[in-house]
Each structure stands twice: as structure tokens, then as C-alpha cells.
Structure 1
Amino acid sequence: MTRIKKTRTSGQIGVRHKPATEARQDRTRTPETKKKGSGLKSGSRHSPPAEQKTSSGSGKKDPRHGSKTPIALVITAAEQKVIDSKNLQPVAQLSKAKQPTLSPEQELAQIENDATLAALLDRVDQGEILKGKEAKYFNAKTARHAELVELLGLDSEEEDEELDPLAKLEQTDWRKEILGED
């Protein structure tokens, strides 16, 4: 920005004060309007309500909403015949939802890949004792795993023997054969 030099003569500092006569002439009067009715009419709540003109010729209107037709609280003979003639047996039967059945191989793979079961198995291997829901879950899954292994013929002991041929040698007692001990 460019610098503007100060001058000794300045313009008006504020708005010029008008004399009272000029101020009255400049003032505009607000048009007088009727007040809006805000709220209820003044008076006692116990005073009788003013009669209003009703457009319908039915007299006083019931302030309650809804249908005014009477409802019978007792079953009539005609209604009883209609009920008796209908077959009121349920059309559909409710049953518990069944989980889709998995093949034993799929179920075994699902149990072996279960992260929760693996974490619980690690805790049991470390010697921790499971309690409550964890123990029930662990017991149920391991029992089902044992059933599936037996059902599919995948015995873990047989697999170990096939993988380790020296295991059979370790199981036999050589002292009896070599030394002839009983």
C-alpha cells in the first residue's frame, strides 16, 4: 500500500447533530397495527366456556377421537358358528433352524483351524486350568475332534508309528531277549 500523508485539515469527525425540529421531521412513524393474539383469552378457567357457533347441526361434538360404534364384548351365536366352522389349526409349523450339515472332513478342518481352540490348547499345554465357558468349549471341541478322527480312520498313533520306524524298537524290552530276564 502507498503511504498517505496526514493533513492538518480533516473532514468531519462524526455525524452532524441535527436540531430537534429537523430530527422530528426525519423520523418516520411506524404504522399502528392490531396486536396478534398470543395465548388464551384472559379469565378464570372455572368460568363457563363461551358458546361457539357450530356449523353442523348435530349439537355438541364429542372431543374424543376414534370410532364411536359400539363393540360387542360377548360372542353371539352366529359368530360362534363361524368360528367353529373354520379350521383354526396353524398352517405352518415352527421349528428350530438347523445348521447346514458339513461333511466330516470339512468339520475336522474347521475344528483344526479354529483360532479360539488353538489359543485354549496352548494355555492347557502351559499348565493353566480352564474354567467356565472356556472349559466347556474346549472339552466339546476336543471330544468332537476325537470322534471325527476315529470316524475318518485317522488315528494319530498309527501316523506316528508310520513316520517313526524306531519307535517300535524303543517300545520293546531288549533286556528280556538279550539277558534272558523275566
Structure 2
Amino acid sequence: MARQKKSRKVGKIGISKTPSNVRKPSEKRVRKHLGKPAGTRNNEALTVNQDHKKVNKDPRHGSKKPVSLFAETKEQKSATKKVKYFSPTQELAAIEQDPRLATLLDNIEIGKKIAREDQHFVDLTLARHKVLCEMLGLTDDIEEPDEQSERQTDLYAQFEAININDFKE
């Protein structure tokens, strides 16, 4: 046997237990991955797998709601709000009392030019007014002259057409 040198270290007495902080040789340390692995730029298999992951899209992504291409003004927003009326008489009264329509009609009577949107609003409102008047039986038609009044106007026209000099002898 070989000779052992003297040392101040105390040798092991009994069987040592493995402490919890000592790793077994079979367990390897798991390292943090920093960055992408080498060669991912040219690896097609990984890019194909990533495309499959994108199939499960978030349902909130994107909207199917149509978007107006023109900016709406305050007047247009108020015009788009539709008010439901209980009867045609209420709707007709609301149209007749509309201050915007009244000012636009006054401007048209004066001869001022109005915007295209305002003209469209006037046309739609007047068309609806006409429909409501027909529904309710309200007509502003000028009464057609009766046959008797036509005869009277014809007789008067004949009387005016008479030349007095024809009757003188």
C-alpha cells in the first residue's frame, strides 16, 4: 500500500448524505434562451409551423362595420337620428315645425343657393310631407272650376269680344 501523507483535514466519518444543493450528474442545467437559435432565418420548417400558429386569430381583430369615407358634420349626425312617431299626424306636425326646414325654405324662396346636403334634406322632407298629406287625405289641390263657372267665363269672354260697331246701322 501506498503511504498517505498526514493532513489536518478530518476524513469522512460515516456515510455522507447528498445535500439538496448538489446536482446529480444526470441533471443538466437549463439555460435561459437569449435570442433566436442559429439558422432560423433559413430554416423553412420553423417558419411553416409559425404560420399555423397564426390561424387562431383573435376574434376582436378587425371590424366588419362599414366606415364612412366622409367626415360627418353635427347637422348630418343629428339628421341620421331617426325619431319614431306614433301616428302620421305627429310626424306631419314635426315636419311642419322643423326650424331647419323652415330656414332652408325661406332661403330658397329668397333665391339664395344652398348646399347640396341641405337641398337633399329639403327634397327628402318635402317628399315625406307629400306622402303624409296623401295618407291623411289632406290635399292642397286647387279646386277645378265647375262646368257652370266655365260657361260663365265663356259667356263673359263672348260678351267682351262683341264689337258694338257691328250692331250700328
Report the TM-score range of the alignment, normalised by the length of the smaller protein.
0.3 to 0.5
What TM-score does the superposition give when structure 2 sets the normalisation length?
A: 0.39
Higher RCO structure (Cα 8 Å, ≥6 apart)? 2
